Amino acid sequence: MKQFIIIGNSAAGIACAEAIRQRDKESKIVVISDEDYPSYCRCLISYYLAGDVKEDKILYRPESFYKENNIELLLNKKVSRVDPKKNHIICEDKTQLSYDSLLIATGSTPKFPQMSGIKKRGVFGFRTIKDTKEIEGLLPVTKTACVLGGGLIGLKAAYALSKRKIEVKVIVKSKQVLSQMLDFEAASMLQKKLQENGIEIILGQDAAEVIGNGDIKAVKLDSGKAIGASLIIVGKGVEPNIDLIKDTEIKFNEGVIANNFLQTNIPNIYTAGDVCESFDMTQGKHTVNALWPVAIEQGKIAGCNIAGDNLNYDGSLAMNSIEFFGLPFISLGIYRTQAGDSSFEELKLMDPKINLYKKLILKDNVLIGAILVGDIKQSGIFLRLIRERIKVSSLKDRLLQENFGYPDIIDLIKEEKEKIYV
C-alpha cells in the first residue's frame, strides 16, 4: 500500500488530500501540521479577532473530516528535514516517516523587521489561530495598538482591533497602503475610507524601535516621533517555510520551485500553496503567489497528479479581493505599469465621489491585470480574460461599460460547448 505524506494542513494540504482521496480510496494519507488545531480558515483570523466570526465557524472542515476520509492527522509536529534519497522525512521529535509521494505545503511565516525591542512580549505576527488567541487575550488590557505594515494582513488586523474599540495606528513605510495589490489612486480611496472609520494611517515613515521596559510603551518612528501603543502587530509580509529542504537537492528560490505539474525537481515530491514558487502567467516568470484560491488550485492539481493523473497547471496569478467598511476592492494580475512604458495600454474609469474606480491593463490587446473599486461584479469575467489570454481588440469600448458581461465574451472563449443557452 502506498503512503502519501502532506506537510501542511491548510488550504493546499487539504485540497491535495481531498483530491487524492477522490481518486484513491486505499492508499494511506498522512497530513502533518506544526500547529495544534485542525484545518481552519486562515484568512478568517482577522474576522475572528474582530468578533465578526465565532470560533465554531472558523474550522475549514468539520472535525470528523479526517476520520471520514481515512486521513491520519499529526498535529504539533514539525518536519525538520526532507530526505529525497531515502524517501523519508525527519521530524523535530526525531521520528521518521517514509513516503511514496510527498507534498510540501508548509506555508509561510511573518517577516519581522530587525529593530530594537521587536522581540518584546506584546509584539505579534498575525498568521495563526495561536497568534490570534494570544492577541485576543491582551485586548482587555489594551487601549492603543500599532500595526507595522500597510499590507493586507496589517490592514485586516487594524480593522479587527478598531472593531474591538482599540485605538489603532498603521505605520506604512511606503507612500500608500496595499502597495502589493493596488495603485496609488485605489490606495488613496482605501486610505480615506479607513481614516473616516477611525483607523489612522501614517504613510512614508517606518518604525525604528519598540520602546518599553518589560511591557511595550511606544513605537519610535524613523522620524524620531514616538507613538504610544501597548500592542504591536507586524504585517511586513511573509516568507515561505523552506528550512526543511534547504540542505537537500530540492530546488528553491524564494519558495520551492514547481514545474507545470506542481512537481519539484524531484519527481515524487510536489509543492503547493504559500511555499510554492510557480509560473506566474501574467508576469511570465516564476513567483510566489501566497493567496488562498491559488493554494487551493495548486493543492488540488498536485493531489490529482500524486494520485496518478497528469494534469497540467497553467500557472498562478495574483488575485485578491477585500472589503473595508462596505467598499470592495479587487486586484488581478499586473496592477501597475512603469510610467512611460508604451507597451501597455490602460483603460480607466474614475469617479471618486461615488467611490468608483476601474483600471484595466492590456498588453498586445490581451488583458493582463485589473483594479476594481466599488463595482466589482465583472471581476470574474476579467479574471477569465486574463487566464485565457483572450484578445479583446473587438471589446475595448465595452470593457468598462456598466453592463459588460459574459455575453460579450461568449464568442471569444475556449468553452468546449455552450451548455445553457439553446
Residues classed as catalytic: 43
Asked if residue 410 binds another protein (CB under 8 A), the reply is yes
Task: Select from 381, 389, 390, 400 the one that contacts another protein (CB under 8 A).
Answer: 381
CB of 352 to another protein, least distance (A): 17
User: Could you give the string, one character per residue 40-79, with x where binding to another protein holds by CB under 8 A and - elsewhere?
Assistant: -xxxx--x----xx---x-xxx------------------
The C-alpha torsion from 277 through 278 and 282 to 285, rounded to 10°, is: 70
Alpha-carbon gap, residue 185 to 352, rounded angstroms: 9
**273: helix, strand or coil:** helix
Stretch that binds another protein, among 198-206, 250-258, 310-318, 327-335 (CB under 8 A): 327-335
Examine residue 399 and tell whether it contacts another protein (CB under 8 A).
no
- Report if residue 354 touches another protein, rule: CB under 8 A: no
In whole angstroms, how close is the CB of 294 to another protein at the nearest point? 10
| Residue among 258, 257, 261 nearest 304 (CA) | 261
- The span of 71-79, 135-143, 246-254, 375-383 binding another protein (CB under 8 A) equals 375-383
Residue with cell 501614517: 202
- Identity of the residue, 269 or 301, whose beta carbon is nearer to another protein in the bound complex: 301
b/e map 54-79, b = 16+ CB within 10 Å: eeeebebbeeebbeebebebbeebbb
d(CA 390, CA 409): 9
The residues, ordered by sequence, that sit 6+ positions from 216 with a Cβ below 8 Å of its Cβ are 117, 120, 121, 122, 123, 210, 229, 230, 231, 232
Choose which of 321, 324, 344, 389 interacts with another protein (CB under 8 A).
Answer: 321
Nearer to another protein, 166 or 409 (CB): 409
Footprint on residues 235-294 left by another protein (CB under 8 A):
292-293
Identify the bridge partners of residue 59 per DSSP, sorted by sequence position: 40
* Structural element, H or E, at residue 359: strand 356-363
Q: Which amino acid is at 29?
A: I
Query: Which range binds another protein by CB under 8 A, 98-106, 117-125, 232-240, 316-324?
Result: 316-324
Give residue 19's identity as a one-letter amino acid code: A
Using rule CB under 8 A, residue 326 touches another protein = yes
- Decide: 42 and 72 in contact? Cβ < 8 Å: no
Told to check if 412 binds another protein by CB under 8 A, we report no
From 275, 288, 332, 371, residue interacting with another protein (rule: CB under 8 A): 332
Query: Whole-number minimum distance, CB 421 to another protein, in Å?
Result: 5
- Asked if residues 313 and 27 have their Cβ atoms less than 8 Å apart, the reply is no
CB of 319 to another protein, least distance (A): 6
The answer for residues whose C-beta is within 8 angstroms of residue 366's C-beta and 6 or more apart is: 385, 386, 389, 390, 391, 392
Minimum distance, C-beta of residue 160 to another protein, in the bound complex (Å): 12
Among 338, 339, 340, 421, binds another protein (CB under 8 A): 421
Compute how many other C-beta atoms are within 10 angstroms of the C-beta atom of residue 330.
Answer: 26
Determine, following the binding rule CB under 8 A, whether residue 165 of this chain makes contact with another protein. Answer: no
Backbone angles phi, psi at 241, to 5 degrees: -85, 90
Count interface residues toward another protein (CB under 8 A).
44
The interface with another protein within residues 24-43 (CB under 8 A) comprises: 41-43
| Of the residues 379, 386, 392, 399, which one makes contact with another protein according to CB under 8 A | 379
Q: Which is nearer to another protein, 53 or 349 (CB)?
A: 53
Site for another protein contains 221 (CB under 8 A)? no
Angle (CA) 35 37 41, round 5° = 100
Residue 407 contacts another protein per CB under 8 A: yes
Q: Find cell 489612522 and name the residue.
A: 200
C-beta closer to another protein: residue 165 or 398: 398
| Residues of this chain that bind another protein (CB under 8 A) | 11, 15, 41-44, 47, 52-53, 57, 59-61, 292-293, 296-297, 300, 319, 321-323, 326, 328, 330, 332, 376-381, 383-384, 403, 405-408, 410, 419-422
